[in-house]
Amino acid sequence: MVFRTYLIVAWLALAIFTAVVMANHGSGLFPIFFADIAAAGWPGQFNADFATMLALSALWCSWRGNWSVMAIAHALLAFVGGGIVLMATLLILHVRHNGDMRQVLLGDRAR
């Protein structure tokens, strides 16, 4: 129950924060994101680190879905959507598998 609560609270907080940022600054994230990386400062280091976590999330989504077309589409969405997509995915899987984290993380490979 703690895990589900965390996912819900964190998802809501991130969704609200994202909406506020988009309202104040627009949706032009990518030029800023990559410019920070190119500048090779701490904001760029954080963005590069975050990009590798997004890639890891996408690879997990593809792998868990046995590299199907839908799994790869989900992976692309996870890469671009970040925590919003990953937390929603984990919450749905957690509910679907009645909290069995082995099933949540491994999917068909848990058998």
39-75 pLDDT per residue, tens = 999 999 999 999 999 999 999 999 999 999 999 999 9
pLDDT at 111 over 80: no
- Using an 8 Å Cβ cutoff, are 106 and 61 in contact? no
Instruction: Sort 19 into a burial class: Cβ within 10 Å, 0-12 / 13-18 / 19+.
Output: exposed
**What's the whole-model pTM score?**
0.89
Question: CA-CA distance, 90 to 7, in Å (whole number)?
Answer: 8
The percentage of residues in the chain with a pLDDT greater than 70, rounded to a whole number, is: 100
Q: In the structure encoding, which two tokens stand for residue 25, read together?
A: 């600054």
Would you list the DSSP string of 61-101? HHHHTTT-HHHHHHHHHHHHHTHHHHHHHHHHHHHHTTT-H
pLDDT at position 109: 87
Radius of gyration of the chain (CA): 16
What is the pLDDT confidence band of residue 108, given thresholds at 50, 70 and 90? confident
68-100 pLDDT per residue, tens = 999 999 999 999 999 999 999 999 999 999 999
